[in-house]
Structure 1
Amino acid sequence: MLMVPPCRIGGDRTCWHAERLSARLNDTVELIHRLMTQSGVPMPDSQLRVVESLADRFTTTPFSYPEVGATRQDQLPRGYRRLEARIDVGHGRQRFLEVSDRLLTWQIHSESGLALQVSDPQVRQGAILIATLPLGPVKIDTRCRVVYLITDDRRAAFAYGTLPGHPETGEERFDVELTDDDRVVFNLRAFSRNAWLLARLGSTVSNRVQAMVNRRYLAAAAS
């Protein structure tokens, strides 16, 4: 829990504690901004570990948001940041099968610079994912569970939702599609908002990190 001491009331009723916290958050924003946009955040080698005990720990844990499965719907829920992005990643069935296999074996995630612990080597409904994103001296841990899985001749897709302890609440869908004109398209759909008080105070940091990770997903799918 974030504890903020009582405010010092002055002529302008300025709380110096809030000012100090704001200054520190701004410093953090600038640090992460430099890491991401100037020197770049180094992407470590793919790190993927299968930890079957995760299923025992988190299978019955409730999701941290009520709109479970809403990434299947045409309209994403209100009250969240919403994302819809797509990128062409090739042509033909062979390319579709290749990207689908990488998606459904967690490779696109691990190739995005995330260190992963998963309960299953293949994506399945109910699978648990704990992802760690290194940002210089800072590491961000996330916990998710797969909400649904779709596989057919022209689509491979799944969505996972956040569990308690994740700095965000919401759901994200990853979708590889073979279109009627033989293009292979990778789609992202998500809705989320900050869960922790500190994450809300540092929402600029959180939003930038989320945008960076989503760009990496798209780049990994296209590789």
Structure 2
Amino acid sequence: MRLADLADLELTYEPRGLTLDGPLPPGFHHLEVERRLGAGDAAYRAASEALMAYAPQRGVGLRPRATAPRAAVGVDVLSRLVFLGVPCRIVWTLETADRTGFGYGTLEGHVESGEEGFLVERRGDEVWAVIRAYARADLWLTRLGGPVTWRLQRVVAVGYLRALRRAVREDG
């Protein structure tokens, strides 16, 4: 699968956009993890910029390639998970003084069906990262994996948080 091939693919799930503010829909496995990244304007800016440039995905070794260098609605993202292509399309973005993030949904050919959202939030002076997802197995491989698949998804989400924390430390 090539990045250029993603333009012809369809999203594989409904409803869409719920990783931003939920509630997460029934019929899917749900995931939500968060971590404090730091405090202050510099931490918020560093985390926000890293997030919108796909640093969490690079930080866990997914090697994302995207049709734009910065997250925006409609951008296609193709990552590699070992030998599997992981095709997604960005379905929402948000950039305000207190919240920055995006969510992408699975395209045809992905091993799961669902959405993953990435947010950096100010809570007073503190800066937090939040990863929210809803997904269900779409291929025999993920159905066979069952609970192991969901645990792996959580491990990857925690890795996303670590990558954002590193971005804040490196910038500060």
Structure-2-length-normalised TM-score: 0.89
| CA distance in 2: counterparts of 1:198 and 1:208, whole angstroms | 15
Q: Partner residue of 1:106? A: 54
- The runs of 4+ residues in structure 1 deviating greater than 4 Å are none
Aligned partners of 1:59 and 1:126 also within 8 Å: no
2:42 is equivalent to residue 94 of structure 1: yes
1:154 aligns with 2:98: yes
Amino acid paired to 1:212: V
Q: State the shift of 1:167 in Å.
A: 0.4
The one of 80, 105, 111 equivalent to 1:132 is: 80
Q: In the alignment, what sits opposite 1:192?
A: 135
Instruction: Choose which of 45, 70, 89 in structure 1 pairs with 2:18.
Output: 70
The 8 Å contact of residues 120 and 127 in structure 1, kept in 2 or not, is answered as yes
**In the TM superposition, what is the alpha-carbon distance from 1:209 to its structure 2 partner?**
2.4
Provide the C-alpha distance between the structure 1 equivalents of 2:141 and 2:19, rounded to a whole number of angstroms: 27
SS at match of 1:115: coil
Q: Does 2:27 correspond to 1:79?
A: yes
Shift of 1:60: 4.8
Letter in 1 for 2:46: E
Is residue 159–residue 172 contact of structure 1 (8 Å, CA) maintained in 2? yes
The answer to whether the Cα contact below 8 Å between 1:80 and 1:191 also exists between their aligned partners in 2 is yes
Q: CA RMSD in A?
A: 1.6
Q: CA deviation at 1:58?
A: 2.5
CA distance in 2, matches of 1:202, 1:107: 27
Partner of residue 5, structure 2: 57
Instruction: Give the counterpart letter for 2:27 in structure 1.
Output: G
Query: Structure 1 length normalisation: TM-score?
Result: 0.69
| Count of matched residue pairs | 165
Unaligned residue ranges in structure 2 (runs of 5+): 167-172
CA contact (8 A) 2:6 2:87 kept: no
Q: Computing the radius of gyration over CA atoms, which structure comes out larger, 1 or 2?
A: 1
SS at match of 2:119: strand
2:165 is aligned with 1:222: yes
List alignment gaps of at least 5 residues for structure 1. Answer: 1-52
Query: How far off its partner does 1:84 sit?
Result: 1.4
> How far apart are 1:221 and its partner, in Å?
1.3
Return the alpha-carbon distance in structure 2 between the equivalents of residues 190 and 95 of structure 1. Answer: 24
**Percent identity of the aligned residues?**
32
Q: Distance in 1 between matches of 2:32 and 2:151?
A: 16
Distance (Å, rounded) in 1 between the aligned partners of 2:162 and 2:141: 29
Work out the CA distance in 2 between the residues paired with 1:73 and 1:89: 20
Letter in 2 for 1:192: A
Q: Distance in 1 between matches of 2:7 and 2:16?
A: 15
Q: Which residue of 1 aligns with 2:154?
A: 211
**Aligned partners of 1:93 and 1:178 also within 8 Å:** no
- Equivalent residue, structure 2, for 1:172: 116
